[in-house]
Amino acid sequence: MDDTAIKPFSRLLEKVLDLDEQYLDPKQAGGYKLGHYDESKSEIVLYGVEDTPRRIAELRSELDATGIRHKLIKQDPFMDYINITIIIPDGSSDKTHGNPDQKHDSGSAKAAQTACHG
């Protein structure tokens, strides 16, 4: 099957699954831990991402390579780690990325408003 025929969510999820395999392989450095995903909401959640500009930039670079338009939302900060929700707005396949410095606390209305703006 031609890559362009695969839905944007599936292509992005495939990339995240590759990053999860890298995370789980002790012989490889890096990667990201897949938490969960929901295709109906076009979102993928990564758990325990180191909250540093370098790790965020690495993630952004990996995801940008897919050519899928996406938005990154930081959630649930704990110590030096965060969860990151990757959202595909409008199911679009245009390449862009969201602002990874956005904060989202799933319990607050202000956070929901912040998550909608980018």
Q: What digits encode the pLDDT tens for the residues 88-103?
A: 987 454 444 444 444 4
DSSP code for 58: H
Q: Which residue has the higher pLDDT, 102 or 19?
A: 19
Q: Is the pLDDT of residue 105 over 60?
A: no
- Domain assignment present for residue 102? The answer is no
Domain count, the chain: 1
pLDDT tens digits along 73-84: 999 999 999 999
Cβ-count burial 47-73 (b if 16+ within 10 Å, e if not): bbbebeeebbebbeebbeebebbbbbb
In a domain, 76, yes or no: yes
Assigned domain for 52 exists: yes
Token pair 């990667």 is found at 31
Q: Percent of the chain having pLDDT more than 70?
A: 72
Q: For residue 66, is it within any domain?
A: yes
The residue among 90 and 118 whose pLDDT is bigger is 90
pLDDT at position 4 is 53
Full residue range of the structural domain in which residue 80 is found: 3-97
